[in-house]
Chains A and B, each alone.
Chain A
Amino acid sequence: MNVMGRAPAFLISFVALAIGATPDLRGAETVWSGLVIAENVAQPKAVPPELTRIEGMLREFFGYNQFQVIGQSQKTLKTGQEDWLTTSKFFGLHVDARGESEGGYVLNLKLYKEKEVLLETDAKLSKRSPLVIKGPQVGSGQLLLVLMVQ
């Protein structure tokens, strides 16, 4: 094959490889947020799949053997300016994304008990670094707020 024949083939292959290797430019990441009740029970239920990734740490760090999700949301961040609400019957977690920064998204979080703000925090959430917030004691268990980029 001559030079003229090889060049287009090379060009097409290279462009295909480059496009295939290019990640989504705006990094449309999905953030999972959950309200979790951690308890110690005699017959613990299996951990929800969303928490499998951090199950070991949750058990070790908080000392509970069961983790039940009582409310959850998934939000795809396209602009990094979205906001959403994760609710259970009595609690609400409002997440307000305030843009991208180096290595993550800046989030404003507010934990509501009905209409009352119990806790507010600003955090920079990284993709490979979930955030866990220890909330109030609920009965014999503990409310945990979990945010992670999926």
Chain B
Amino acid sequence: MDQYVSRRLIARAGIVINTGEDNYLTTADAVDKAHTVLSSQFINEAFAFRAGLNEKQLGLGHAYEIDPWIEDSFLLELSQAQLVRQIFPHHPIKWMPPTKHKTGDIFFAHVHDAMFNLVGVATNQSIELLGMFSEAVHNPMLMDRYLSLKATRYVHTACKHLGDEITFKPDGRIAKRAVQVLDEALAQLEDVSRDGIWDAISNGAFADVKRTRTGGKGYGGVLKKHAQYMNPLLDALEAQS
């Protein structure tokens, strides 16, 4: 049983998957490495299509993880969110709230989450996860959940059609940043295509985390397929598509 078999099962079952590219930004810098999320979204999409999934099943992930205190951080987030929305218009993309830059200052974190919600509604994200101001403190309590839901409802109601009203200046900061990220993602995909995905991963191309071909936590569970490997389930799943 490998990921390809899992994806075949998912394709057959017709359920939506949520991919985890957004997690890169919790280890790598969310400004410098934004393109790695995009290139990984393209790779995950390609893996999914090969296993017979359709675009409506692909909750490709991205996140609001830029340091909130850098100048124009909101513009950079807006740019990335809009870029992903436009590139994958029919995918139920998954939009993750800030976690990395949260501290015990719950009052600031509540504002931080509101800005995340604003980007989410302005760019019509599909699967938006709820930000929690007590993220860095404890598992959310009833009052935490209540206040987060209330604030999110406010932003989503107050800005419901904001996305339909916005156009971006073609030569403005937001559009230029989107083009830059797209260019960097393309360059990275060309590198990956040249070096192969294994070498790319072991060189730390994604998330600044290096996993060698024979390293990593799950290595013990990886087996080479026998020449006479047979999986009647997989044969049946492949025959259907």
Is this pair of chains taken from one and the same complex? no
Q: Chain B residues in contact with chain A, CB under 8 A?
A: none
Instruction: Identify the A interface with B (CB < 8 A).
Output: none
